[in-house]
């Protein structure tokens, strides 16, 4: 054996000894969590407390920011945290935008040789302007994209624009399809208004082929006139597109009584259990308490709220004392303003505490799939090494990615994570009247609570 080969051999052996030592040390270090993780999963599945809390929350009804119901839900959540014996519970004041749908929401084909008085399945977009009692009547013009709208330019003046961009069923991750189309809902009506359109009808952001319209926020800008805008169910979107081919001169009447009111007083709900060893180190587990007004928002994001609340409850009930403080933050106003997230950001900046990590649950309460991690690569590798423990709750992967709309506002923490459940059915329910308690499977939701709890414990004690 040459000198070089001897050196190489000794380097390889030293490497193997060192890595096996580190690996062995990590193995035994994490061994103690195996039993705890299994127990967390079993307790969540057997007791289903989070699901039970979700049933209670859903009975309050929809929780749109600024509404009376949203305040009822906020006080209910505070009371729940107090009854569960969290160490501190408080409300953090937040001023929120307040939009009301009102009673009237009617869109019909008002002039046509073939389709006169045909009613269309629509729902006003959150933040939309309303109309007067007579409504707006105008000719309809269909576009498939912003590009088509731009090409038409002034030709849309005085007309109602129908943005009929299909939510793709061809992406493996429906969140990708949402990303491809959400811009047209958020800024579409403003773009139409720029060219002089009088109202906008947007194809609902779902691939689930029913006729239930899906609402969601639409934007505002000081310099652009806001026009009435609605989402239309898929079946009626296709009907309307065909009707326009047969009768390009058809006119539509839109009546909406929705309006934007002045900002309202609201709150983030915060509860925590103090860390046994590092009480000033904070792990945030967050979700948003507001929902759209068309259903109780069981998946979006009632279940997320109850999962992060159950995380603290599980640790407490099982007598597990995390080293760092675990703080549950139920943010208000994620759907149409992120004011809750910004208020918490200010609070975190001003506080003497150290935010170490944050997890958000806002992607539905289906079977657990993974965690997206927003961190540096060393931290990511460390978190990835916990996968065997997370697998006990059904988690398949941990990978780099965006965390969530609310926790992304927390600055200077080591890691921000987004809990991801199976996303295939999420947009069947999202922002629609379909998002009710019976859309949530108790076992799937509870496995998510368990996954979040195991991850939270590891972030608290091992990061």
Instruction: Report the interface residues with Zn ion, using CB under 5 A.
Output: 300-301, 362
Sign of CA dihedral 208, 213, 217, 219: positive
CB atoms within 10 A of CB 137: 17
Q: Which residue has the tokens 């923490």?
A: 413
In order, the DSSP letters of 313-349 are HHHHHTT---SEEEEEEEES-TTTT-HHHHHHHHHHH
Closest approach of Zn ion to the CB of residue 300, in Å: 4
User: Of the two residues 48 and 63, which places its CB atom closer to Zn ion in the complex?
Assistant: 63
Measured from the CB of residue 290, what is the shortest distance to Zn ion in angstroms? 9
What are φ and ψ of residue 6, in 5° steps? -60, -45
Nearer to Zn ion, 293 or 301 (CB): 301
At 207, give phi and psi (nearest 5°): -110, 0
Distance of CA 67 to the CA centre of its chain: 19
Strand order in the sheet with 88-100: 88-100, 259-273, 324-331, 278-288, 354-361, 415-421, 368-375, 397-400
Please say which residue, 293 or 300, places its beta carbon nearer to Zn ion.
300
Q: Which is nearer to Zn ion, 231 or 240 (CB)?
A: 231
Closest distance between Zn ion and the C-beta of residue 99, in Å?
Answer: 17
> Residue 262 CB, nearest distance to Zn ion (Å)?
25
User: What's the closest the beta carbon of residue 287 comes to Zn ion, in angstroms?
Assistant: 8
Closer to Zn ion by Cβ: residue 362 or 444:
362
Nearer to Zn ion, 161 or 440 (CB): 440
Q: Please list, residue by residue across 352-380, b when 16 or more beta carbons sit within 10 angstroms of its beta carbon and e when fewer do.
A: eeebbbbbbbbbbbbbbbbbbbbbeeeeb
Closer to Zn ion by CB, 141 or 303: give it. Answer: 303
Q: Closest separation between CB of residue 446 and Zn ion, Å?
A: 20
> What is the token pair recorded at 159?
């007309």
Report the alpha-carbon angle 43-44-47, nearest 5: 75
Residue number, 343 or 362, with CB nearest to Zn ion: 362
Angle at 301 between CA 300 and CA 307, to 5 degrees: 135
Residue 159's CB is within 10 A of a number of other CB atoms, namely 20
| Rounded least distance, CB 463 to Zn ion, Å | 26
Least distance in angstroms from the C-beta of 175 to Zn ion: 12
What's the CA gap between 112 and 252, in Å, rounded? Answer: 9
């Amino acid at each position: 054996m040459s000198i070089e080969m001897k050196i190489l051999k000794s380097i390889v052996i030293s490497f193997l000894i060192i890595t096996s030592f580190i690996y062995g040390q990590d193995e035994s270090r994490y061994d103690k969590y195996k039993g705890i993780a299994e127990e967390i999963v079993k307790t969540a599945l057997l007791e289903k407390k989070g699901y039970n809390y979700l049933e209670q929350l859903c009975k309050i009804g929809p929780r749109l920011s600024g509404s009376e119901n949203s305040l009822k839900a906020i006080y209910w959540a505070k009371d729940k945290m107090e009854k569960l014996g969290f160490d501190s519970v408080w409300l953090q004041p937040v001023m929120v935008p307040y939009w009301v749908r009102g009673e009237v929401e009617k869109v019909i084909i008002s002039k046509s040789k073939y389709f006169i008085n045909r009613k269309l399945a629509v729902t006003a977009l959150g933040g939309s302007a309303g109309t007067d009692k007579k409504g707006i009547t105008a000719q309809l013009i269909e576009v498939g994209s912003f590009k088509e709208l731009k090409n038409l330019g002034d030709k849309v003046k005085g007309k109602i624009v129908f943005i009929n961009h299909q939510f793709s069923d061809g992406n493996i991750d429906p969140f990708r399809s949402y990303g491809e189309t959400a811009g047209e809902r958020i800024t579409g009506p403003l773009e139409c208004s720029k060219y002089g359109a009088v109202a906008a009808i947007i194809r609902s952001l779902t691939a689930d082929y029913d006729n239930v319209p899906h609402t969601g926020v639409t934007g505002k800008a000081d310099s652009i006139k806001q026009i009435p805008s609605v989402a239309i169910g898929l079946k009626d979107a296709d009907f309307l597109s065909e009707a326009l081919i047969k009768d390009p001169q058809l006119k539509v009447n839109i009546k909406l009584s929705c309006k934007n009111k002045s900002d309202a007083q609201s709150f983030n709900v915060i509860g925590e259990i103090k860390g046994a060893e590092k009480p000033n180190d904070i792990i945030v587990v967050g979700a948003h308490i507001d929902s759209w007004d068309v259903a109780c928002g069981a998946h979006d994001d009632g279940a997320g709220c109850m999962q992060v609340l159950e995380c603290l409850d599980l640790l407490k009930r099982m007598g597990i004392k995390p080293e760092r403080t675990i703080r549950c933050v139920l943010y208000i106003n994620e759907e149409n303003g992120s004011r809750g997230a910004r208020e918490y950001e200010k609070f975190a900046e001003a506080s003497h505490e150290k935010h170490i990590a944050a997890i958000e649950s806002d992607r539905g309460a289906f079977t657990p799939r993974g965690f997206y991690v927003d961190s540096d690569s060393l931290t990511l590798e460390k978190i990835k090494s916990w996968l065997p423990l997370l697998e006990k709750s059904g988690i398949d992967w941990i990978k780099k990615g965006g965390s969530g709309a609310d926790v992304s506002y927390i600055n200077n923490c080591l890691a921000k994570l987004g809990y991801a459940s199976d996303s295939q059915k999420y947009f069947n329910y999202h922002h629609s009247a379909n998002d009710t308690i019976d859309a949530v499977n108790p076992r799937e939701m509870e496995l998510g609570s368990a996954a979040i709890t195991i991850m939270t414990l590891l972030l608290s004690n091992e990061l």
